[in-house]
Amino acid sequence: MTIFINNENHQITNYMKRNSLFLATALLISLAGCKSTPVQDEPWISNALDVASFQLEKTAEELTGTNRIPRSIHSGYDMNFLDSQLQREDKSYIDSLLPNLSAKELQQRYICGITDWTSGFFPGSLWYTYEMTGDEKLKNCAIQYTNMLNPIRRLKNTHDVGFMINCSYGNALRLAPNDTIKAVIIETADNLSARFNPEIGCIRSWDFGEWNFPVIIDNMMNLDLLFNATKLSGNPKYRDIAVKHAQTTMKNHFRPDYTSYHVVSYNNDGSVEKKETHQGKNDNSAWSRGQAWGVYGYTSCYRETEDTTFLREAINIADMIMKRVTTDDCIPYWDYDAPTGETTPRDASAAAITASALLELSTFAPEGKKYFDYAETILKNLSSDKYLAAKGTNQGFVLMHSTGSLPHGSEIDVPLNYADYYYLEALQRYRNLTK
């Protein structure tokens, strides 16, 4: 059964708690903005939205009817380069390397099916760009690509349904409300909740590999789906699971300096089996995007619970990030512990996620301005020619220079659809805080 999103304009204003530095300003823009006087943006924002609108709309049109989602650009790898970045023996990662692609495939658009963990980001990007521009073509594209994901409501074998549904249907619910959307979110939340083990206190991430019960830091990003399900249904079970998962992750995933492991696997009795990485430099390194997932997730948890334990965790992670990222433009290398040089890949996706998180954190934290300023620096740099694509280039993606999984030889120095998503979300939050 396909759920068709209501195509009517609705005015929604979501007010969020603000601290004394930022008085009573909504983080999420009202849909009335699409019909009222347009926001007069700074030139760099106007340019970014112009690029995003062009790139996303053109890509949506090109892929219409394929039932496929744009994910990234195909990249290859060189073993000597991987060795130099990972600084560990080939045998420790060679079996996990994806096949190197042919020259014909390189630099071509990588499109995926709806069950790929990234499938929700493209429709989410369309929603955000529509929200900021009022372009009805973008809205129609957003509806089309969101409806494609309807079957995900029955997917049970991954935690990533939070990404898939909350970024697509979650934004649709804000911008084109329809009761049928609620059913999709709640059914998806039921399937995500079924992966929760009360003995362990966490939601299982993966069903593959040699781990007994793997939980990755990325899973913090799927908790918003559960919080939303409680608000939509009135059933506290979803919220309770989200809170317990966040508490357990806070206890076991973080080192004394507030950097995070990527993977923590648990024994059936709830004790820790092992702590590792799957995508970082090594088990003890600080994988850049993982740190961004952490600060974003705990900021969201505080928003939904007002539990100051979560706020302190978000602040501590944010402070760590601002200390550990040493690049001149605040766009981190793919891993904080990677050997640095001209060829060390950046990760614009980690920067975009961080910027979005810190903008929200700035509305809660006592020293909110420093997080706002840091996020602003990231956004302005991502909006420069160094990272923002020229219209008609970059295979239709908005940002350049992200890294997917270097240890797998996958998506190295390419655009990523989730980099675009969190960049646009950050722009939206920034506009709301500065208008």
Query: Hey, which residues are catalytic here?
Result: 160, 218
Beta bridge partners of 14: 28
Residue 220 sits at the vertex; the CA angle it makes with 117 and 69, to the nearest 5 degrees, is 20
Beta carbons of 155 and 191 less than 8 angstroms apart: yes
The label of the residue with tokens 């996990």 reads 96
Question: 23: Cβ–Cβ under 8 A, 6 or more apart, which residues?
Answer: none
Pure H helices in 160-254: 161, 169-175, 179-193, 223-233, 237-252
The amino acid at residue 296 is Y
DSSP 98-112: PPPPPTTTTTSEEEE
Helix (H, G, I), strand (E, B) or coil at 399: strand
Name the residue among 295, 399, 398, 404 with its Cα closest to residue 354.
295
Structure tokens at 387: 């990272």
Q: Is the dihedral of CA 261, 267, 271, 274 positive or negative?
A: negative
The label of the residue with tokens 């009761």 reads 179
Structure tokens at 313: 């965790």
Helix (H, G, I), strand (E, B) or coil at 308: helix
DSSP class of 66 = T
DSSP 322-355: HHH--STTS--BSBTTSPPSTTSPB-HHHHHHHH
Provide the CA 184 distance to its chain's centre, in angstroms. 20
Name the residue among 424, 425, 403 with its Cα closest to residue 414.
403
Beta carbons of 375 and 395 less than 8 angstroms apart: no
Residues in the chain: 435
Question: 365: Cβ–Cβ under 8 A, 6 or more apart, which residues?
Answer: 19, 311, 314, 315, 318, 371
